[in-house]
Amino acid sequence: MRTKTELQYKKDILEVCKRIYSKGYVAANDGNVSIKLPDGNFLTTHTGRSKGFLTLDEIVKVSPDGKPISKGKPSTEVEMHLGIYKERPDVNAIVHAHPVFATSFALARIPLDQCTIPEIVTTLGAVPLADYSTPSTQEVSDSLKEPIGKADAVLLANHGVVCAGFDVFDAYFKLERVEHFAQITFYSKMLGGEKLLTCGEVGKLRDIQGKYGVIGKTNECIPAQNPTKSHSQALKKAINELC
């Protein structure tokens, strides 16, 4: 049961905004964060504001249809957030950002869907890719309906990453995991390619998953017996051209 005051939720948003800015997950005024309040309304970051310098007054309260009910102008991506909340009633917070490695995979349109890192398999699972959609439009919400229904973290083609959680820190830590996963995957490709876990190895990880206290959805990743060649080949080509 959530018992924080509205002010406390605002402070939580500020803390997460400072973290995503300090880690370089957003630049300038990019990114947005929201929280679902117990009364059914939502708090979201103000549009056109740097997340590293956001103030309490720049967190806007909106109704379920996205209309502001406090001073300020809500994020232009508020429709995306509301669409996720509608699709996933279990979600209480959302973080959207553009971390470099994960967004690079999004630009290459390569999902992070292979079973490689035990901690990712057990706590996050595969990170699917949503089809490209025009930012700040209803298209984004529509493109997320299928992937967000099975995963808490989704790559947005040519755009960035969106993560959903039971609270704003859960959503933020999922963002951290996605970027860490993407960075390790990128470098492993440069060392000859990652070796996928087998079905048996993944099965054992699933058996101990309860020890990690996971809350939310962990989408099934692809084990070694069924690699997606097109994804691997596309990434290898991109790295070869870069290096």
Residue 18 CB: number of other CB atoms within 10 A? Answer: 14
Helix (H, G, I), strand (E, B) or coil at 65: coil
* Domain membership flag for residue 217: yes
Active-site positions?
A: 77
pLDDT > 90 in the chain, percent: 83
* Domain membership flag for residue 157: yes
* Domain membership flag for residue 190: yes
Reported as a single tens digit per residue, the pLDDT across 126-153 is 999 999 999 999 999 999 999 999 999 9
What pLDDT is stored for residue 241 in this prediction? 56
Domain count, the chain: 1
Range of the domain at 138: 6-242
Angstrom distance (rounded) from CA 69 to CA 60: 8
* Domain membership flag for residue 238: yes
What residues contact residue 183 under an 8 Å CB cut-off, 6+ apart?
A: 101
Candidates 91, 76, 78; CA nearest to 36 is 91
* CATH number of residue 90's parent domain: 3.40.225.10
* Domain membership flag for residue 1: no
Q: Looking up tokens 């690079």, which residue turns up? A: 104
* Domain membership flag for residue 188: yes
Can you tell me the mean pLDDT for 185-192?
96
Total-model pTM = 0.89
What pLDDT is stored for residue 237 in this prediction? 55
Q: Look at 223 and 183; give whichever has higher pLDDT.
A: 183
Structure tokens given for 153: 């973290």
* Domain membership flag for residue 136: yes
Reported as a single tens digit per residue, the pLDDT across 8-50 is 999 999 999 999 999 999 999 999 999 999 999 999 999 999 9
What pLDDT is stored for residue 234 in this prediction? 52
